Amino acid sequence: MASSKSIGMAQTPTVCQFCEDSPDIKWKCVNCELFFCQLCNSKIHSKIKGSSKHEILNTKDFGIEDLATSMRKVDLENLVCSKHSEQKCGAYCNECRVPSCSKCLMEPHKGRDYIPLEEMYNNIVSEMKELITKFEKNLQVFRNEKDKLQKMLCDGDTNFQETREIILQTEKEMKEAISKHANELLQELDGKWKPSENRINTELAELKKNEDELETRKNNLNQALQSHQVEEIFSTNKNLDKSLVTYCIKKINPSRTKFIPRNIELKKESQSMIGILYSVPEIGLRETYQSDFVDVTKILFYDDNTAFLESFHSEKLQKVKFENHEIKVKGEIQIKVFDMALINDEDLLVSSRKCDLILYTKDGQFKTFKSFSPLKTFCVYVTKDSKIIVGLTESYPITVPPPIDCIRRLVVMNKDGDMLHTIEYDRDNQRLLSYPCRVQTLNDKTVVVDIINREEEGRVIMLDYGGQLHWTYNGCNSINSDQVKFYPRDVAITSTDLILASDVENHAIHVLNPAGEVIVWKDVKCLGIEFPWSLSIDKSDVLWIGCNTRIRDETKAKIHCVKLT
């Protein structure tokens, strides 16, 4: 029986095993397990009885798959039965799952199912090959995931090292700057104190000199008075210097300095000596919904997957639910809405660029909540403590940049519509707003989207209750390094106090920290999000983006659900 072990060139003998002379070995007979040259193959082996059925292999084919297959076929023909050692197997018992010989076939065995051995062998080989193919596909999945993780690890480590170097470099520069500034302060302090110190020391030396002279004269007189000799008294009196030391005391006004150190409270989360480390958020698209608006200019969530949608150009307000990958419209009214805010559960405050701020109740009634005639309402927002902020202008259409005699203000009211405060000018009587189209609050500050020119470029600003401007964000240099080209339309604020601003013309979302510094500028067009307009964050901190279209009444706008990670 031929061996089933693999045969390599290292096992090939040095000379033909037939003639034992020729080193030019060309063939191997798997059945005979002998190597021989070309001459012996044709003259000797081919004439052996029964050799015509032998498996002859060329030595140059050693190591390839066909060799192993050929050798297994020879083994298959000579496979000995495990029960009857003198018999060769010719069938396969499915019941016992072993090869069987002719004697096995004659043994009584209920329910035995025999199939030809070669057929079973071919089935097993085919199954193994199929399994190898599946394993390879599965391995490829693992390799791909491994490559992704390795790239993620490499990119993450690169980002970590770069960020670490920036922090360390910033620390070094700040240490150097602080040391330099401290040295300058010390030199300045020396310059203020040393002249006074020198004048005082000079005066002290002069006073000490005069003091020593008077002390000496006083001691001489005491010594004379303690003498028992009358002559000593007369002698001392003869040479007595009765003059007093005259000294003009100079008036010195020493300089005084006071150093007020910077109050660095490192324990406060909002402060850091060097800076604050932010995780750059990634935006992952979760779902896209098709609206029946030409633009979705406002999304306002009031419950899980339930929201109000409005389209200024379609002049519609809808109550919808997002479910089963679709927008289910629960109610719709025909109204031109510019902005809206939720008040009293499902009641809405609606601004339509008209004089009246409208209350739309959950039972479908429209009421005038507050009239600002002759001023026009624009943005509207209700704070967590139920204060109402409304943007007002003197006219619509609005003129930008604002003329001198215009009105561009925010008014703050209580929930009953009573006026509490107005924000229009800063402490230097400079106008704060140009065209306030959206407003939100972050802690006790107000964040406003403000349009600044006819091209509808804009900015995001933060104001406090007293009208103090804290910062202005005019866009990121990643968009256009030569000139500000920033087209904000809405803002949303996350639970971690990140400020998100939509940038409609650049197909982007800007992520800012509470200080108005850009953390990242995200191009969302690569995610299929074009002309992002309205932003809304639901209770799960998921961001919803309502888009605009540039083909009016022909293309319907999309709403995208994205996750910040």
Count of CB atoms situated within 10 Å of the CB of 535 = 22
pLDDT in tens, the chain (565 residues): 334 344 444 467 889 988 888 888 888 887 787 888 988 988 888 888 777 777 788 877 665 555 566 666 657 777 888 888 888 888 888 878 888 888 888 876 555 678 888 888 888 888 888 998 999 999 999 999 999 999 999 998 998 999 899 889 988 988 898 888 888 888 988 888 888 889 889 889 988 988 888 888 888 888 888 877 777 778 777 777 777 777 677 777 776 676 766 555 444 444 455 667 777 888 889 999 999 999 999 999 988 889 999 998 889 999 999 998 999 999 999 999 999 999 987 789 999 999 999 999 988 889 999 999 999 999 999 999 999 999 999 988 888 999 988 999 999 999 999 999 999 998 888 999 999 999 999 999 999 999 999 999 999 999 998 888 999 999 986 554 555 589 999 999 999 899 999 999 999 999 999 989 888 889 999 999 999 999 999 988 899 999 998 765 568 899 999 998 8
Same domain for 228 and 287, yes or no, is no
Q: Residue 303: inside a domain, yes or no?
A: no
273 within a domain of the structure (yes/no)? no
- Classify residue 173: in a domain, yes or no: yes
* CB-based contacts of 189, cutoff 8 Å, min separation 6: 257, 259
Residue 456 lies in a domain: yes
Say whether both 73 and 136 belong to one domain: no
- Of the candidates 219, 235, 251, which is a domain's last residue? 235
Same domain, 136 and 218: yes
Q: Interior CA angle at 112 toward 106 and 115, to 5°?
A: 85
CATH code: domain of residue 19: 3.30.160
- Same domain, yes or no: 382 and 455: yes
Both 390 and 466 in a single domain? yes
Residues 461 and 529 in one domain: yes
- Say whether both 399 and 516 belong to one domain: yes
- CB-CB contact of 406 with 387 (8 Å): no
Q: Is 453 helix (H, G, I), strand (E, B) or coil?
A: coil
97 within domain boundaries: no
Residue with structure tokens 């967590």? 384
99, part of any domain: no
CA 347 – CA 380 distance, rounded (Å): 14
Q: Which long-range contacts (CB under 8 A, 24 or more apart) does 529-532 make?
A: 529/285, 529/558, 529/560, 529/562, 531/504, 531/505, 531/507, 532/489, 532/502, 532/503, 532/504, 532/507, 532/508, 532/560
Give the CATH number for residue 393. 2.130.10.10
Residue 147 belongs to some domain of the structure: yes
> Do 524 and 437 reside in the same domain of the chain?
yes
DSSP state, 52?
A: G
Q: Are residues 43 and 192 in the same domain?
A: no
Residue 30 lies in a domain: yes
Q: Say yes or no: 389 and 518 in one domain.
A: yes
- pTM, two decimals, is 0.66
| Cα torsion 181, 187, 188, 193: sign | positive
- The values of phi and psi at residue 18, to 5°, are -95, -60
Cα angle 456, 457, 460; round to 5: 120
Report the number of distinct structural domains present in the chain: 3
Q: Based on the number of CB atoms within 10 Å of its own CB, is 551 exposed (0-12), middle (13-18) or buried (19 or more)?
A: exposed
Looking at residue 431, what DSSP letter applies? B
Same domain, 20 and 166: no
Tokens of 504: 């409609």
Dihedral sign from CA coordinates of 316, 319, 322, 327 = negative
User: Within a 10 A sphere around the Cβ of 259, how many other Cβ atoms?
Assistant: 6
Q: Say whether both 56 and 138 belong to one domain.
A: no
Domain interval for residue 65? 13-78
